[in-house]
Amino acid sequence: MSLQLGDIAPDFTAQTTEGEIKFHDWLGGAWCVFFSHPADYTPVCTTELGRTAKLKSEFDKRNVKVVALSVDGLEDHKGWINDINETQSTTVNFPIIADEDKKVANLYGMLHPNASETFTVRSVFIIDPNKKIRLMITYPASTGRNFDEILRVIDSMQLTDNYSVATPVDWKEGEDVVVSPSIPTPEAKEKFSKGVKEIKPYLRMTPQPNK
């Protein structure tokens, strides 16, 4: 059975470029971005891993840990990291899982035989501190991921977990948000002191409550 949103992220033990990790223990109480790569020494992935390393401070301030996976071995990973650091002018600062037997890739459904019989697809999982899968995105191998979007989604989920709001189309940090439909308008006007704009009875906007 394939993984779905709300499922507990499967636990595993794996060797990584930063030593052995038991996934749930390593994650602790943090959020997690877990993403796969078709293979080492691939051009698009090289740019992605470099971008991820440069975003460390952004992930840190959101209490997010990052872990990558490729079905190649540790020695290949180490050589590839040297290339990433050199070509992307950064230092890789997160673990990359060595998954030569494809156990973790299969556990997370990262192998799509109709796309490739040997390579993982470009999967992204966002996992919350309760170990629940909150987002899944799958990209084709030819398309690099948008890490600004990944950060945007994390911002949205962390906001909406703590307030009775949702985020509208193309929302960015600091913009107005949608009042939850479950809250009657009179109650919403009391709850959201910055004001509620009623566009339709089911569509009410309010300034981002934690700004």
Residue 98 lies in a domain: yes
Residue 98: domain span: 13-145
* Burial (CB count <10 Å: 0-12, 13-18, 19+), residue 51: middle
What's residue 165's pLDDT? Answer: 97
Pair (181, 78) in one structural domain: no
| pTM, full prediction | 0.91
Residue 53 lies in a domain: yes
Choose the catalytic residue: 9, 27, 33, 45: 45
Q: What is the CATH number of the domain that holds 101?
A: 3.40.30.10
What strand order describes the sheet that includes 133-139? 19-22, 13-16, 96-98, 64-70, 31-37, 122-127, 133-139
Pair (140, 173) in one structural domain: no
Name beta bridge partners: 70: 37, 98
Hey, what are 82's tokens?
A: 């040297």
> Is residue 40 a contact partner of residue 6, using CB atoms and an 8 Å limit?
no
Q: Above 80 in pLDDT, residue 104? A: yes
Pair (135, 168) in one structural domain: no
Mean pLDDT, residues 85-113 taken together: 91
Residue 50 lies in a domain: yes
CB neighbours of residue 67 within 10 Å: 21
Of 145, 178, 195, which residue constitutes the final position of a domain?
145
Residue 103 lies in a domain: yes
- Report the DSSP pairing between strands 96-98 and 64-70: parallel
Specify whether 45 is catalytic: yes
How many domains does the chain contain in total? 2
Pair (38, 84) in one structural domain: yes
